[in-house]
Amino acid sequence: MKKVSLLLFIAAGMLAMSAQQKVMRIHHADGTSETHKVADVLKITFENEGDTPDPQGPQMVDMGLSVKWATYNVGATTPEDYGNFYAYGEIEPKEEYTLENYQWYYPEYNDWDCDEWEKYYKLGTTFTGTNYDVAHVKWGGDWRVPTREEWKELIENCTWQWTGINGVTGAKAVSKINGNSIFLPAAGNMVDAEHTHDQLGCFYWTSTEYEGPDISVECRNYRANIDATWRGADGYDYPEVGFSIRPVNGPVPEPARSAVNIPTDEEMVDLGLSVKWAPYNVGASSPGSNGYFYCWGETFDKLYGHVYNYKYYDPLTDGYIDIGDQISGTKYDVAKELWGKGWRMPTREEMQELVDECTWEATSSGYKVTGPNGNSIFLTASGMMTYRGMPRGSSESGLYWCGDADVRVRPNGEKMESNASALRFNRNGYALDKPKVDYFSRAGGIQVRAVHD
């Protein structure tokens, strides 16, 4: 009998506990409060209004394309909301969109010493998925600003209807592949403090830099423009103009890489040192050609180099992303990534061995380097790739990357994270300054001469 009474007592206690469900009380600034059952709350997030899509609503639409498309603009909460306007590569909206307040305006620009495109810092062939990408910064994950190609894919694979939602005019895109659709409000754009083309056109930034006929053209960036009669992503505009952003969701495309020649085993040069050396630079076709210019840790060539388009610079913190103190033979090693088969960037020690153990002879376009065994390689004096694009100091100086970071530290103990080890030499006529393994800005574009174990 006592056993039965005990079981009844335990059961009653459990019923009482289940009746007293946990609740969450929210206390408001006005002194009021409200409660919610804890069991009914999935999660709690703290967000800036308009920064993130409604987590309970449809965040993306599968249009049967290479990426999924967001249902509304950055800064909006519904498909018909305009959201915010953004200048190219900026992550905050503004009251006015002018050249003077554009974040990536080149402060040293002047009419007498600069080309027209130098009014701006060029942020790279594309900024999608980087910290210049407002969709990526605000929404996180795989959200990002579409490339020009992704906008063209949407335009070409949809049927378009100029229509409206809740009194807002815009364009409805219906996928030819699976019938799914998105709506783009005709938000117009911002030029200076003027809101233009309101309810007349959709203007969206792509993340792609304008591909001009040469590097001296004005700095522009591609945009998507859609209205009642026109749809395209071939137009381009000044980067300080304020356009809408419609994000996509998907992996960041790999940067384009130019084709390279790979030396055969028979072509590698034994100088009688600890490693064998390549007969020509990465990207070159012969010992006398320059090859491509690379920033430290990047595995793709580009037309100009400066800190703002360096892959491992973070504009949000004004710092550098740590990719290791030694990248030789890693995924950050351009020689290893492009040539494979045991090729890699030389270490600082191996480059120093080249300087100390070889004889150096200046020529009209570079330096003949002869090893202890009499074999030799030729290092071109190719200069460097600068913000202005073309090589500077060609036939006068040579710079070649090592795989080592800058090992020096500042007086306060901080690492010199902006530099990496590099071979440097200069020539005055045929008089060779002594080559030196020194340091160079990671964001600068210089040459790579590979080694093989």
- Structural domain boundaries in the chain: 2-40, 60-249, 276-452
Average pLDDT over residues 367-390: 88
Q: Does residue 269 carry a pLDDT above 60?
A: yes
243 falls in which pLDDT band (50, 70, 90)? very high
Q: What is the Cα–Cα distance from 294 to 291, expressed in whole angstroms?
A: 10
Work out the end-to-end distance of the chain between its first and last CA atoms, rounded to an integer number of angstroms: 86
Average pLDDT over residues 239-262: 94
Pick 385 or 156 by higher pLDDT.
156
428 forms beta bridges with 431
Please give the mean pLDDT across all residues of the chain.
Answer: 86
Average pLDDT over residues 247-257: 93
Q: Does residue 21 carry a pLDDT above 70?
A: no
Task: Identify whether the C-beta of residue 224 lies closer than 8 Å to the C-beta of residue 156.
Answer: no
What are the CB-based long-range contacts (under 8 Å, 24+) for 294-297? 294/334, 294/401, 294/445, 294/446, 294/447, 294/448, 295/442, 295/443, 295/444, 295/445, 296/327, 296/401, 296/420, 296/440, 296/442, 296/443, 297/323, 297/327, 297/332, 297/420, 297/442
Task: Identify whether the C-beta of residue 25 lies closer than 8 Å to the C-beta of residue 35.
Answer: yes
- Of 16-25, 234-243, 265-274, 424-433, give the lowest mean pLDDT range: 16-25
Q: Considering the chain, what percentage of its residues have pLDDT values greater than 90?
A: 67
> Residue 216: its pLDDT value, please?
56
> Residue 37: its pLDDT value, please?
66
